[in-house]
Amino acid sequence: MGMGSRISRSMTKLKDSQRRKSDERFAERFAHQWSQVRSDRRTEETAPDIHAGPSNFNQARVPYGVDLAAAWSWRFLVIVAAGYVILQGISKFELIALPLVIAAFLAALGVPVVHALRRLGVPRKLGAFVVVVGGIALISTLLTFAGQQVAQGANDLSAQVVDGIEQIRTWLRHGPLHASDSQINAYLQEIQRGITSSNSQIVSRVTEVGTAVSHIVAGVFIVLFGSYFFLADGDRIWAWAVRIFPRAARARADSSGRVAWASLTRFVRATVLVAFTDALGVMLVAGILKVPFVFAIGVVVFIGAFIPMIGALIAGTVAVLVALVAHGPIVALVMLGGVVIVQQLEAHVLQPFLLGRFVSVHPLGVIVAIGAGVLVAGIPGALVAVPLTAALNAVVLHLSESMAADEIADAEGPQSPQ
């Protein structure tokens, strides 16, 4: 009994020892697995590693000419789109934009007078006011003299119109057409019917005429105020405009604007000289031929000459029509020849010497600019096209020269002191 109980206790102890070892091994495996799970969870919560490698993108191999053409093409499309947006914006605000452009022209013409008054001790704002008032007085005087001349000769001209119509009737009857009285009367009735039908539409256009007059009055006020402020505070206005540009581009923007303004000033002065010469030449021919309304014709030609190349020629047709009514077709043909001669002198002497020298725009460029201006904005576009082209040409040349100078300076590097 004693031996069996000892063996039984030994077996029990052995089993307890094996059970404890098994429990310890199980606890160790569980602890190891639990630590592995926690380690995996911490790894998942952290950002995964990203291993960089070489790119698998292969650039398309195109010929150099195609690449260059594509680069020029998209840049050209962007420039055209930007220009179109600018022109559309200007056309939407034409009532404000065009008077401001005219005010800039007048300011460019009056700046030397303001500077001369400043040298005499007159403040700039007072000098600008004097120049604007003096310009209004000069224009009013010219228009008054022209209007008085037209009013005084209107009665005589009306009688001459009747005689002219009778001369036309006689020419139709006995000239190369050999028209009969019935055909002549039919022609005259057709003309009268056209005039009558056009008169019947006048009432329906009264509102349009009133709107146009209000726009003209508003434009005149904008021109006056714009001219004054451009002359009085032009530097401050330009400084404000330059501050809109980024800091790195302000120097080039300032120099480009001053170059454009100098080009515009030269253009306006040259145009005034050309217009005065055209008006004087046409007035001289009209005075020799004793065409009525000589001074009024000169004023019309002077204003029309501000459209280069074609403006004075179109305005000269007024003198031809007056000569036709007053003295018949022979004098009208002589007047037409005089206008053509004056235009030839302008085109071959004045234009190359003044506009070509001061503005540096080729005559072909002038014609293209005028055509584009007429297509875009009509007569106002033709008025603005040439000075705008001249200013852009001057700015492009200035920027190209300045960039070339910067490249040369960068290539040479800093100069060491001697």
Helix, strand, coil abundance in the chain, percent, nearest 5: 85, 0, 15
Query: Domains of the chain: which residue ranges?
Result: 96-244, 248-403
Spatial distance between the Cα atoms of 367 and 313, rounded to a whole number of angstroms: 14
Beta-sheet strands, E only, within 3-68 = none
Rounded to 5 degrees, φ, ψ at 122 are -85, 130
Stated pTM of the model: 0.63
Which DSSP letter does residue 204 get?
G
Residue that the structure tokens 């009688």 belong to = 159
Spatial distance between the Cα atoms of 243 and 215, rounded to a whole number of angstroms: 32
Are 283 and 305 a contacting pair, CB within 8 Å? Answer: no
Spatial distance between the Cα atoms of 212 and 206, rounded to a whole number of angstroms: 10
pLDDT of the chain along its 418 residues, tens only? Answer: 455 666 666 677 777 777 777 767 767 777 777 777 666 666 555 555 666 666 655 666 778 788 888 889 999 999 888 877 877 777 777 788 888 888 888 888 888 888 888 888 889 889 899 999 988 888 888 778 777 766 666 555 555 555 666 666 666 666 655 566 666 666 666 665 654 554 445 445 555 556 666 777 788 888 888 889 998 888 888 889 888 888 888 888 888 888 888 888 888 888 888 888 888 888 898 888 888 878 888 888 888 777 666 677 777 888 888 888 777 778 888 888 888 888 778 766 776 666 656 666 776 777 777 777 777 777 777 777 778 888 888 888 888 887 777 667 767 665 544 4
